[in-house]
Amino acid sequence: MLQAGRLRGEAALALLLAARVVAAFEPITVGLAIGAASIITSYLTYDDIYCRFAECCREERPLNASALKLDLEQKLFGQHLATEVILKALTGFRNNKNPKKPLTLSLHGWAGTGKNFVSQIVAENLHPKGLKSNFVHLFVSTLHFPHEQKIKLYQVQLQKWIRGNVSACANSVFIFDEMDKLHPGIIDAIKPFLDYYEQVDGVSYRRAIFIFLSNAGGDLITKTALDFWRAGRKREHIQLKDLEPVLSVGVFNNKHSGLWHSGLIDKNLIDYFIPFLPLEYRHVKMCVRAEMRARGSAVDEDIVSHVADEMTFFPKDEKIYSDKGCKTVQSRLDFH
């Protein structure tokens, strides 16, 4: 069915173009071409044809929850909480025909634990072109908001950018990386867009998604994980309720979190604080295997062990967690 629809769209476009080319030469041919195109396009709207050749914002496009679940389970390692919460949050939000506010997720944990990777997976499952989509917008604090003396300008620019893009596509996704390097106050400029308003200046933001990525809170997450390990409890037994309250308070009181005394937290506008646990030796090996497969190489367990052994681990005595997560796996694998 999809193939047949694609062929109809391509045929219609070809016939319409052909009609324009021969218009100066043969009126009868033109009539036949237009007639044939009319028959084909009677099954397709203009949007159907256009969206086969250009990216469109399909508000009715459903989320494939099974595909998202498979991506998270097969590509993200050691993060049972993130997998569970993100799957439920996105599925519930996209299945809700009338959400009361945008979905806002705040992802926390040390570098290399998978926050950026998850944002990429989410983007690809919401819009086929992923991070390259016209409807997915990535902001990096040190790149887009580098100067503290320009906070007011950044706030105005950010509001205009989000307003314009949500007006063009209600399902827009906004990702803010390096929140812990963001100057305090900048993010509060978008507070009205995240609140329970039906519209703000004639624009509804209720179907948009905002994702914050931050290293802030990594110490609190690691402490909880370490407490479980020292008590002989499996990390898989850590629940969201063990971390989320501590995380939200810790981030709110952290001057370097990007959310210090933020109205987003104070007004409960962040739907989920999602912790990314520090990665153990076994998780690093999983990352190495996945990278080898991604490169089209056969998995060599000797190389897997060598790369994992080259990583450094903490705390100093126990050496349980990789201090860079899986962040340097790609570069280290280049040497083997």
pLDDT tens across the length of the chain (336 residues): 444 444 455 544 454 444 444 444 455 554 555 555 555 555 566 667 778 888 999 877 789 999 999 999 999 999 999 999 999 999 999 999 999 999 999 999 999 999 999 999 999 999 999 999 999 999 999 999 999 999 999 999 999 999 999 999 999 999 999 998 888 888 889 999 999 999 999 999 999 999 999 999 999 999 999 999 999 999 999 999 999 999 999 998 888 788 888 888 989 999 999 999 999 999 999 999 999 999 999 999 999 999 999 999 999 999 999 999 999 999 999 988
Residue 15 is predicted with a pLDDT of 44
The reply to whether 109 sits in an annotated binding site is yes
DSSP state for residue 179 in the 8-state scheme = G
Residue 35 is predicted with a pLDDT of 56
The reply to whether 111 sits in an annotated binding site is yes
Residue 263 is predicted with a pLDDT of 87
Strands 173-177 and 136-140: parallel
Q: Report domain extents, the chain.
A: 7-53, 65-276, 281-334
The residue assigned the tokens 């971390």 is: 243
The reply to whether 116 sits in an annotated binding site is yes
The reply to whether 115 sits in an annotated binding site is yes
Nearest residue to 93 (alpha-carbon basis) of 171, 8, 14, 199: 171
User: Is 3.40.50.300 the CATH number for 65-276?
Assistant: yes
* Nearest-angstrom CA–CA distance, 286 and 24: 64
DSSP state for residue 239 in the 8-state scheme = -
* Nearest-angstrom CA–CA distance, 217 and 128: 32
The reply to whether 113 sits in an annotated binding site is yes
Residue 332 is predicted with a pLDDT of 94
The reply to whether 110 sits in an annotated binding site is yes
Query: Which residues, 6 or more positions from 238, have their beta carbon under 8 angstroms from its beta carbon?
Result: 80, 81, 224, 225, 228, 277
Nearest residue to 182 (alpha-carbon basis) of 207, 150, 160: 150
Nearest residue to 118 (alpha-carbon basis) of 298, 224, 275, 223: 275
Q: Count other C-beta atoms under 10 Å from residue 267's C-beta.
A: 12
Residue 245 is predicted with a pLDDT of 92
Amino acid letter for position 311: M
- Token pair belonging to 185: 């106050």
